[in-house]
Every structure is written in structure tokens, then in C-alpha cells.
Amino acid sequence: MTVTIKDIAKVAGVSKATVSRSLNDSPLVAETTRERIKDLADTMGFEFNANARSLSTSKTGTVGIIYPERFGKFGVSLYYSSLLNQIRDFLEKEELDNIVAFPRNRYTGESNIKRLIQSKKIDGLLIIHPNITDVDQKIMNFIEISKMPYVFLHHYPSFCDVETVDAIYTNHFGGGYDATKHLIDLGHRNIICLTSYGDSMEFRQRTEGYRAALIDNNIEINEDFIFRGYRDIGSGYKMIKENMDFIEKNNITGMFSQTDLMAIGVMEGLKEFGKKIPDDYSIVGYDDIEMVMDFKPNLTTIHQPREEIAILTCNRLLELINGVKSNKKVNISLSTKLIIRESTKKIE
């Protein structure tokens, strides 16, 4: 039924070893036999048994992708989809399979990272995990001593000394700063900021950037100007609906929304109050998700270099898997980019 190298060997009248060598392009085999064997394998419909091969070589040809725990939330998966598509594309080019898992099994509580490593199902690990808590510090150690190649991506590794892990992420402080600075440069002084509930490092950093930009420009920070939402469209909408009075009373003209989705909600809410964007309010989003182009006015936003993240991350993981010898960790903070579109305008 399934054809193995033994079958090929029998038909070709050679040994298993020769078949193996031929199929693996070993230089230790005659050019002519190699070709003969390869042709034969083709016509017989041979494919390596991945398990046997892995058992023997300790290479699986698959990498694990660890999704963030909140991935199930609609807005979250939407946000990551583009990054994941890029990663998948890269892995496909390298003919690597990928196993998708959450940090822990949500039913048994067991660490999937640990299990995948120990059970030898993967050659490397791509970890998209916003914050590893101290509970998970054990796992970090485990990964390290297991020598399993890994790269953290997209999220700043807040759970440990940055220098001690491989990580590719974006500079959220800079992003928050640039967004706010842009509004200030356009003459806005009363700028509110819509961030996320919880204490995800990335959002904290964006807010720090917002604060820093205000301070650098001698604008007093008003803590009441900082709102919180669930990162989705509904949250932005709700924020406006519930605070329009406040916004008008305080002569707000600029808004920095730390996700594009919330910014879309903000615009929807504002429209319902008959407000014009950017005439009445200038809005800056964050992420530069594709969807933003489907709404008018097109949102000015902070672009996250997702393609770059994907490529750098995968390249690094491949290096690691292919055994580049070096104790140096690679640790890259990518700059975001302000994309000016139609939702911001100089104040008169």
C-alpha cells in the first residue's frame, strides 16, 4: 500500500541505504543510480515517512506557532490575520509545515509549548504571546535549556531581560509618540487618547508615547483624557456615545485611538452626532489594518511593519534551526510609520 525505501530498493535491486542516499542527494552515490532511484521513487509514488525520518534525524519539518491567548476574540484574530498570513507564506516557501497552538491547553491547563518540544513534534517555535507571566517563567527556562530554536514576535518581551531572548517587535512607544506628535504639529492641544483595558505592555507603551509627546510640547497631561476600551469597533463607538458631552466641554479636537478598530468605531459614533472628520475632529489610529481603507475618510494611522516582522522573524528562526552557531540573541525593535491620510487636518 504505502511505498517505502525498502520497496524501492527491492525493485531497483539495490540496498535501502543507496535509496536513502539517492533520495537525499548524498554525494556518496553515483549520479546515474541517483537519477534512476529518483525516477523510480517518482513513478512508485514514494514519499518519506515523516515519523521514521524524524525519529532518525530529530528534524520534523514543522514549526510551532503559538497564538496569543486572546486570539479567540474577534477583533484580535482579525488584527493578527495579516501577520499570520505573511508567516504562513514564508513557511510555505521553505516547505515547512506549521502546528498552531495556544500557550496552554485551555482544558487541561498543560503547557503546549513544553509538550510540543518534549514530544519532538517541531523544529522551532514562533511565539506571539503578549506577556509571559511569572508563572510562565518556568516555561521560558524550559525552552532555553531544551535548546529549541524560538523567536518571540510582535510583542515586546516584557517578562525578562530583552537581551536574553530572540525577539522581533515594534516600537510602540515611538508609535504612540508619533501619533500624538502629528496631532500636535497640526495645532491640536486638547487630545484624548483611547487605549486598552488591562495592562498589555504594548498599550502601556503607546500611552507612554502619548504622554511623552505632550510633555515635550508643554501640554499638560490630563488623566481624564485617557479612555479605555476593548480594542474593537464597539468600544470606540461606545466611548464617543458616552462622552460626547465631555469631549465638547473640553474642546477636544484631536483623538489618538490605539487600535484602528476603535478608531473606526469612534468615527461611526462621531458621524451619528453629525460631526465631520477631519473638520471637527482629527483622528489617528494604530495598526494600519486593511479594513481601514474601506471607511471614509481614510484613517491616518500608525503603520505596524507586519511584513518586515514576519520576514525577519522567519529568517531568524531558520538560521537558528539550521544551526547557526552563536550565543548572541537577536533582538530587533522595528519602527512604526505614520501614514497620513484623510482623518487629520491642521486646526484653524
With contacts defined by CB under 8 A, name the span among 160-168, 265-273, 278-286, 329-337 that binds a second copy: 265-273
List binders of a second copy among 328-347 (CB under 8 A).
Answer: none
Residues whose CB falls within 8 Å of the CB of residue 7, separated by 6 or more in sequence, listed in order: 44, 46
CA distances from 150 to 155, 167, 266, 317, 325 (A): 14, 9, 38, 6, 14
In angstroms, what is the minimal distance from the CB of 50 to DNA?
Answer: 8
- SS (HEC) of 236-261: HHHHHHHHHHHHHHCCCCEEEECCHH
With contacts defined by CB under 8 A, name the span among 18-26, 217-225, 264-272, 335-343 that binds a second copy: 264-272
Q: Which of 15, 24, 26, 106 binds a second copy (CB under 8 A)?
A: 106
Degrees (nearest 5) of the Cα angle 180, 173, 74?
90
Determine how many CB atoms are found less than 10 A away from the CB of residue 323: 7
321 binds DNA (CB under 7 A): no
List binders of a second copy among 113-132 (CB under 8 A).
Answer: 114-116, 118-121
Q: Tell me, what amino acid is at 249?
A: K
Binding partner of residue 39 among a second copy, DNA, none, CB under 5 to 8 Å per kind? Answer: none
Nearer to DNA, 26 or 164 (CB): 26
Residues whose CB falls within 8 Å of the CB of residue 337, separated by 6 or more in sequence, listed in order: 302, 303, 305
In angstroms, what is the minimal distance from the CB of 46 to a second copy?
Answer: 8
Cell numbers that stand for 125 in this block: 517555535
Q: Which of 7, 11, 38, 48 binds a second copy (CB under 8 A)?
A: 48
Query: For residues 182 and 284, is the Cβ–Cβ distance under 8 A?
Result: yes
33 binds DNA (CB under 7 A): yes
Query: For residues 9 and 16, is the Cβ–Cβ distance under 8 A?
Result: yes
Nearer to a second copy, 146 or 333 (CB): 146
322 binds DNA (CB under 7 A): no
Q: How many chain residues touch DNA (CB under 7 A)?
A: 26
Helix (H, G, I), strand (E, B) or coil at 339: strand
Binding partner of residue 41 among DNA, a second copy, none, CB under 5 to 8 Å per kind? Answer: none
Binding partner of residue 5 among a second copy, DNA, none, CB under 5 to 8 Å per kind? Answer: DNA
221 binds DNA (CB under 7 A): no
Query: For residues 241 and 271, is the Cβ–Cβ distance under 8 A?
Result: no
Q: What is the DSSP letter of 290?
A: G
* Sheet strand arrangement including 300-303: 226-229, 191-196, 254-257, 282-287, 300-303, 337-339
In angstroms, what is the minimal distance from the CB of 55 to DNA?
Answer: 4
Q: Which of 35, 44, 52, 279 binds DNA (CB under 7 A)?
A: 52
Binding partner of residue 20 among DNA, a second copy, none, CB under 5 to 8 Å per kind? Answer: DNA
Degrees (nearest 5) of the Cα angle 78, 83, 86?
130
Binding partner of residue 16 among DNA, a second copy, none, CB under 5 to 8 Å per kind? Answer: DNA
Rounded CA-CA distance 150/160 in Å is: 15
122 binds DNA (CB under 7 A): no
In angstroms, what is the minimal distance from the CB of 305 to a second copy?
Answer: 17
Contact residues for a second copy, defined by CB under 8 A: 2, 45, 47-52, 54-55, 60, 62, 71-72, 74, 77-78, 81-82, 85, 88-89, 92-93, 95, 97-102, 105-108, 114-116, 118-121, 232-234, 237, 265, 268, 271-272, 289-291, 293-296
